[in-house]
Structure 1
């Protein structure tokens, strides 16, 4: 399943937030969205997910305008984990994850053992076994984030969109969630704040002031000159002696 956008834009009161973005996402890849705060990453993800209507351009799914799909069909194909998604409802962890099955249920297709197994797999994937009966209000920020990701996994999407999924997570769960996303047989688009985590993506799309500045492999996108221009930092590119991976170290400009 392919996802792309052409000349995509979104404005508020004539103030452009995202401008003229054209992007083709490769099937099966993990594409990282990076950029300073306010660069338009979250807005772009919402348009790609079909929950925010572009004010310019269009999003296409398998060559068809996303706006022509019923919401139910979009939800069967695309799942979005937002940066901040809360609920005031008194629900348990299992209730929250079960919501991921909603697009697949109908009067002709009621809840089944297959749905039970899918929910159990999703909870296990984010290491939340034993939390199923815990109420939402008792969870930490990191635990809530893991439940949001489990809900998206239960949706069984072909395209997974994540907005800074490692927010609120301790380092163990940051690494385990990113490793999980990399292993999933889906196309993933991930907005990331940590540029060293972004180095693990297949490609990176760098946004600046709502525009796509560059797109390519991490080694080509995360150069010292571009980091200085887009993030106002100087950087040293180091090599980890353990595995030869490139690591970024940042400094405040002199």
Structure 2
């Protein structure tokens, strides 16, 4: 069942066409990876699907409802976003930054409670950031800030999670840990990735090229040597990992 979809989606900035003719259905519970060269439209697509930007043409449906008619609160209760750049100069504690993820669920009739505290603590634990909870945002490294961004999104308890290159700035240990956390969550996930070997772990992949969707399907069916040559301008072949039999991409420049 499709929980998030778009039809004939397009986005232009002045004379620049960033996306055009995107048709996509995201299935409930899947991890859908979005890959493509720099400038292919990955971040723009995620922002349109999240309602952060308004499309020039086409429409986005969230659980069958047009995104444009939903309030920001309604959207935020179902969908969370982790952008590449979302910094702040505020002198805010890490715990308080993650607690902002609970905002869509709070009201005069539903004030902050012990349950919200527990959700924030769990989100910090899931990204290995519990020890950062009393630190100020300004004191964090780039990688630490990225983990806190993801914790804030987890605290939102979304049904759909959109992540724009969430492993940027992270060391390899935390890259793998974050991807494991994300893929273990009982949510539908859209994740833009640069690392094609990491993308192979997704349920399906959407390949963007110059603002168009050029391939969609299971990773090994989509990332063929010919597709990698045509879209990414690299030569590729697959190796089999003797440890677990997984397929690994070996890439070379043309």
Q: Structure 1 length as normaliser, TM-score?
A: 0.98
Cα deviation for residue 103 of structure 1 reads: 0.6
Whole-angstrom distance in 2 between the partners of 1:74 and 1:51: 11
Name the structure 2 match of 1:33. 34
Query: Is the aligned partner of 1:246 residue 2:213?
Result: no
Q: Where do 4+ consecutive residues of structure 1 move more than 4 Å?
A: none
Q: Does the residue aligned with 2:110 lie in a helix, a strand or coil?
A: coil
Q: Does the residue aligned with 1:2 lie in a helix, a strand or coil?
A: strand
Whole-angstrom distance in 1 between the partners of 2:64 and 2:155: 26
Deviations 1:203-222 (A, max 9, x none): 00000000000100000111
Query: Is the aligned partner of 1:191 residue 2:192?
Result: yes
Name the structure 2 match of 1:230. 231
Name the structure 1 match of 2:101. 100
Name the structure 1 match of 2:44. 43
Cα deviation for residue 85 of structure 1 reads: 1.0
Query: Is the aligned partner of 1:85 residue 2:113?
Result: no
Name the structure 2 match of 1:56. 57
Deviations 1:33-59 (A, max 9, x none): 000000000000001111111110000
Cα deviation for residue 14 of structure 1 reads: 3.0
Deviations 1:189-246 (A, max 9, x none): 0000000000000000000000000100000111111001111111121111111111
Cα deviation for residue 107 of structure 1 reads: 1.2
Name the structure 2 match of 1:69. 70
Q: Does the residue aligned with 2:85 lie in a helix, a strand or coil?
A: coil
Unaligned residue ranges in structure 2 (runs of 5+)? none
Name the structure 1 match of 2:219. 218
Whole-angstrom distance in 1 between the partners of 2:65 and 2:131: 42
Cα deviation for residue 18 of structure 1 reads: 0.6
Cα deviation for residue 97 of structure 1 reads: 0.1
Name the structure 1 match of 2:151. 150
Q: Does the residue aligned with 1:127 lie in a helix, a strand or coil?
A: coil
Name the structure 2 match of 1:207. 208
Whole-angstrom distance in 2 between the partners of 1:96 and 1:225: 44
Q: Structure 2 length as normaliser, TM-score?
A: 0.98
Unaligned residue ranges in structure 1 (runs of 5+)? none
Whole-angstrom distance in 2 between the partners of 1:99 and 1:111: 11
Name the structure 1 match of 2:19. 18
